Amino acid sequence: MFAVFAKKHRILLSSFTLFLLILCLIPPSYIKASKEDSKIYDYYQLFEEDEKQDLEETLNQYSDEGEVDIIVITTDDLEGKSKQVYMEDFYDFNALGYDKEFGDTVLLMLYMNPNDRSVEIQGYKSAEHYINNQRIEAILDEIVPFLSNGDYTSAIKKYAELAADYMKREVPAPPKSSPSDNRNPSSSNTVPNYNSNHTNLSNQYETPLLNPLYQLIASFIIGGITVGIMAYNSGGRITTNNRTYLNESNSALVAHHDIYLRTTTKRVQKPKNDDNNIGGGHTGGGTSSGGHSHSGGGRGF
Partner 1 sequence: MVVQYKCPNCGADMAFDSKSGKLTCDSCGREETIGTMPQSNISYQSTDNKNYFKENEANEYKCNNCGASLITDSLTSATRCSFCGAGVVLADRLSGKLAPSLVIPFKISKDQAKEAFKTWCKKGLLTPKGFMNADRITSITGLYVPFWLYDLDCDGEANATCTKVRTYEQGDYIVTETSYFNVYRRVKLEYDRVPQDASEKMDDQLMERLEPYHYHELKDFQMPYLAGFIAEKYSYDDKSLLSKVKQRVSRYVENYIHSTILGYTTTTYTTKNISVAQKKAHYVLLPVWMVCYDYKKAQHTFAMNGQTGKIVGKPPLSFGKILLMFTGISTLSFLIMQLITIIAGGMS
Nearer of residues 7 and 158 to partner 1, judged by Cβ: 7
Minimum distance, C-beta of residue 216 to partner 1, in the bound complex (Å): 6
The SS3 call for residue 226 is: helix
Phi, psi of 202 (to 5 degrees): -75, -20
- Taking the CB of residue 137, how many other CB atoms lie within 10 A of it? 16
Dihedral-angle region of residue 66 (phi above 0 means left; psi in -120 to 50 means alpha; beta otherwise):
alpha
Minimum distance, C-beta of residue 84 to partner 1, in the bound complex (Å): 16
Nearer of residues 191 and 216 to partner 1, judged by Cβ: 216
In angstroms, the CA 156 to CA 72 distance is 8
Instruction: Indicate if the alpha-carbon torsion angle 9, 198, 282, 186 is positive or negative.
Output: negative
In angstroms, the CA 41 to CA 60 distance is 14
Give the H or E element holding residue 193.
none
Minimum distance, C-beta of residue 225 to partner 1, in the bound complex (Å): 9
Minimum distance, C-beta of residue 16 to partner 1, in the bound complex (Å): 18
Strand partners, 286: 294
Nearer of residues 279 and 290 to partner 1, judged by Cβ: 279
Nearer of residues 16 and 220 to partner 1, judged by Cβ: 220
Nearer of residues 32 and 237 to partner 1, judged by Cβ: 237
Residues near partner 1 (CB under 8 A): 1-3, 6-7, 10, 205-206, 209-210, 212, 215-216, 218-220, 222-224, 226-227, 230-231, 234-242, 244-247, 250-270
In angstroms, the CA 96 to CA 100 distance is 8
Nearer of residues 195 and 211 to partner 1, judged by Cβ: 211
Three-state SS for 22-33 is: HHHHCCHHHHHH
- Taking the CB of residue 41, how many other CB atoms lie within 10 A of it? 18
Strand partners, 109: 73, 120
Minimum distance, C-beta of residue 106 to partner 1, in the bound complex (Å): 30
Minimum distance, C-beta of residue 278 to partner 1, in the bound complex (Å): 9
- Taking the CB of residue 247, how many other CB atoms lie within 10 A of it? 6
Nearer of residues 29 and 244 to partner 1, judged by Cβ: 244
Minimum distance, C-beta of residue 101 to partner 1, in the bound complex (Å): 31
Given a contact cutoff of 8 angstroms between Cβ atoms, the answer to whether 301 and 117 are in contact is yes
Nearer of residues 24 and 255 to partner 1, judged by Cβ: 255
In angstroms, the CA 97 to CA 103 distance is 4
Minimum distance, C-beta of residue 32 to partner 1, in the bound complex (Å): 38
Give the list of residues 6+ apart from residue 201 with CB closer than 8 angstroms, or none. Answer: 211, 212, 213
Given a contact cutoff of 8 angstroms between Cβ atoms, the answer to whether 138 and 273 are in contact is no
